[in-house]
A and B are shown apart, each in its own frame.
Chain A
């Protein structure tokens, strides 16, 4: 049977070549006209996006200005800021947010929780998707091309598009935690966790609230599951020790293999001590 199929698809392709020769149309000018028009539309859209990006950026002359500057280029227009604050390895009040076409990957990291299954989200699923895509022509061997006669392929395709769309949407609408709001919760944390008297731990909690930890971690219901990072409300109950916490903050992946958490070594010894004291004091709500 396999022989038949191979012979058949070869025959169809030879027929295709004859058909195109006999009743096809020349690429120029017919197809080329459509291609050129479409390319023109693409160029116009790209220029249009650039113009909207610049025009809508706030300033006292928000209008078109080919020669001059805009007054507040760090403020966001309709399409976002022209640029953010300069990179500062010492200030970790960051939002680790990729460009929009990586949102689906970004959100996968929230679905797979740290640490057991996060590797599925970061590496497993993207790798499987890529392998499936490459293997597609060898999985789907039928020569049938009409969509209605390929129900499995069509359903799989629609599911893939839907899941990419949903993940992208969820990634786009994911809320970030605001440092100022987090800071107001520190006294509450100290009370619930019972470290009000521990000055160093309270100082650490304040740092914890503002340096960006809560963009990925949660603590007593505050913060986000960005990147699938664990809840830290009872991290101290593991009794890993201050020395471990400091080493971990300095180089997370050195201590916990495969951790995507960035290094906080730039915070300096005093801050690291406070953060470590805070984490160790977090024995879970009393």
Chain B
């Protein structure tokens, strides 16, 4: 790359530097300016809304992790401390607590939209499967996070939940043992749930969301199935426009296709 000569080139030099070494700028440009069907509608914002809810969980979760103490003696007091003493601690914890519900509702709504649009069909089968895995991992996040306040509700609901895992044939007992770090709920159970909740599952979810988005960009989004001219139905013949004459528009307009 030649040294920047004009003022314009000097201002954009860092961008060019980055592009030359990573191709990232081109990637972002491709992402932003790629074409989507002209008839996409509001239902198709549910996926990105789910992503937003997950990112809110990630950010509030990191803040909570700075103050939460994952051992049976300190877990409950640290939750009380976050809720009552820290500046806006209640807000961060409340957003995490209720964001979980919103995240799960949005996952189900997004799945319902994909089902209604038949968007799981060829060639998007793999992305549907990744979505189902994300739903399962999201529910697992809900299950592991529920124990962390270490109050009566969470403790006993999780006890029964683990026992139910343990009742499954073949893998059940191993899963229960893995979750608890022993045969019963004990001091290790809490730190284990914490590690699963804030490292293992979010890592897997981030990776799968990456794949999910890659496939969305690669395969494109579908037109609503009830659209008059859904993408895939071929070119639209412009409607015949009778020649008109007038003062403002002296020449006949060609029928423009809705973008």
Contact = CB atoms under 8 A, between A and B. Distances in A.
A and B together in one complex: yes
Contact of A137 (B53, B121, B153): B121
Contacts of A12: 232
A263 interface: yes
Given A73-B83, A94-B152, A123-B168, A39 B52 contact: yes
A119 B258 CA distance: 55
B52 A260 contact: no
Given A19-B235, A54-B94, A83-B80, A259 B35 contact: no
B75 to A, nearest CB: 8
Interface string A120-138: 0011000000100110111
Contacts of B185: 89
Contacts of A66: 87-88, 91
Given A25-B36, A35-B45, A137-B120, A99 B142 contact: yes
B154 A53 contact: no
B163 A53 contact: no
Given A147-B225, A262-B160, A134 B129 contact: yes
Contact of B132 (A28, A102, A134): A134
A27 B94 contact: no
Contact of B101 (A17, A92, A100): A100
A142 B225 CA distance: 14
A23 B129 contact: no
B84 A147 contact: no
B122 A130 contact: no
A47 B90 CA distance: 11
Interface string B136-167: 10010011001001111111110111011011
Given A15-B233, A130-B136, A145-B121, A31 B40 contact: yes
B104 A145 contact: no
B215 interface: no
Contacts of B161: 98, 102
A198 B72 CA distance: 40
Interface in B3-49: 31-38, 40, 42, 44-46, 48-49
Interface residues of B, number: 98
A39 B124 CA distance: 24
Nearest to B57: A46
Contact of A38 (B36, B48, B87, B164): B48
Contacts of B79: 83
B117 interface: yes
User: Taking each of B159, B166, B232, which has the highest tally of chain A beta carbons within 10 Å of its own beta carbon?
Assistant: B232
Interface in B161-209: 161, 163-164, 166-169, 172, 184-185
Given A23-B257, A38-B45, A253-B163, A51 B94 contact: yes
B101 A50 contact: no
A42 interface: yes
Interface of B: 31-38, 40, 42, 44-46, 48-49, 51-53, 56, 72, 76, 79-80, 83-85, 87-88, 90-91, 93-95, 97-102, 104-106, 112, 115-125, 128-129, 132, 135-136, 139, 142-143, 146, 149-157, 159-161, 163-164, 166-169, 172, 184-185, 220, 222, 225-226, 230-236, 257-259
Shortest Cβ-Cβ A-B pairs, 8 listed: A50-B94, A145-B118, A24-B35, A94-B156, A87-B155, A49-B98, A137-B125, A16-B232
Interface of A: 9, 12-13, 15-17, 19-28, 30-32, 34-35, 37-39, 41-43, 45-47, 49-51, 53-54, 66-67, 69-70, 73, 79, 82-89, 91-92, 94-102, 109, 118-119, 122-123, 130, 133-134, 136-138, 140-147, 150, 153, 157, 161, 212, 227, 252-253, 258-263
